[in-house]
Amino acid sequence: MIDPAETFDGTFPFQPHFSTAAGFRMHYVDEGAGPVVLCLHGEPTWGYLYRHLIADLSPTHRVIVPDHMGFGKSETPADRTYWLQDHVDNLEALAADLDLSDVTLVLHDFGGPAGMGLLGRRPELVSRVISVNGPTAFGQPGLPAAFKANAARSAWFTWIAEAHARGTLDATLGDLGYNILSTLKLNGFQNNEIITASWLRAYAAPFPTPEAAAGALGWAKGLELDAHRFEQPGPRARERAAGLPALALWGSEDRTLAAEHFLPLFYEAFPRGFVSELPGVGHYSPEDAPATITALIKLFLDATSDGSALTEVIAA
């Protein structure tokens, strides 16, 4: 694990917190006070992705940013599996441990299905949903077809399939501490000015050995092994989601998760939702456009603080 006190030259200056409720040492940031904003990262990032949002929202909100098992400052236990359902289990345990309620979910990449799994299991905990280039998988009939169509054109998913077929997937992702930049670029960000020595070190640090890369390998390999189990929400969860204020912010240059495949699923899960596509912004939109992401999230939080849908606020 990364040293809990590591700030990466002051770019991640947040007090570390840990929960063992899920049976391993799970790191999370817990900054500010007020309505809870729970930010979930994806592959192969960690809470560092949300560093700008933490700083900008914590004056008015309680911002909680966990690192999934096998990522960031969290433990990478050798005796666990790293499938989607395992991460949902962990989030459910963390939410209970912290006694969370009235939660706004912020979802990026695989944090989308993980957070939607939490919504499916514990719908009463969630009051708003914000997808930031994160698939809102929620049992939609068209979900398998959307993922299949997206995988056919995505460089990341194509590479996973080919590497798995060649038997090189484990070795490549096991060396993620070395090839983190090429992996992030394959998924896609547009703003090369963000690349600094501190930034590279922060994203490479969770993966110093092949054993430490089990989380990143699990996300990728689970697709090829059909090991991920997307939560199938019941009627109560579907009804709850349909009434929630929801926002999708999508970098239009996302080469990993194409808007044309995933925004229809967002609308299907959240018919009261609102979408903003961001031109010139890639898959890692919180890195490409942190100020824009923060401004739009603040607008959404302010506009829906009384439980209204954003579309109703704009219409008024």
Predicted pLDDT at 306? 77
Predicted pLDDT at 271? 96
Supply the pTM of this predicted model: 0.96
Please answer whether residues 191 and 287 qualify as being in contact, where contact means their C-beta atoms are separated by less than 8 angstroms.
yes
pLDDT average, residue stretch 273-300: 97
pLDDT digits (tens, 9 = 90+) for 149-187: 999 999 999 999 999 999 999 999 999 999 999 999 999
pLDDT surpasses 60 at 315: no
- Find all residues with CB under 8 Å of 168, minimum gap 6, and list them: none
Assigned token pair, 155: 């460089």
Rg (CA), the chain: 18
pLDDT digits (tens, 9 = 90+) for 38-83: 999 999 999 999 999 999 999 999 999 999 999 999 999 999 999 9
Please answer whether residues 25 and 94 qualify as being in contact, where contact means their C-beta atoms are separated by less than 8 angstroms.
no
pLDDT surpasses 90 at 310: no
Please answer whether residues 209 and 171 qualify as being in contact, where contact means their C-beta atoms are separated by less than 8 angstroms.
no
Predicted pLDDT at 230? 96
Counting Cβ atoms within 10 Å, is residue 292 exposed (0-12), middle (13-18) or buried (19+)? middle
Q: Which residue has the tokens 């596509």?
A: 277
The strand order across the sheet containing 36-40 reads: 16-19, 26-31, 62-66, 36-40, 103-107, 126-132, 246-251, 274-278
* Average pLDDT over all residues of the chain: 95
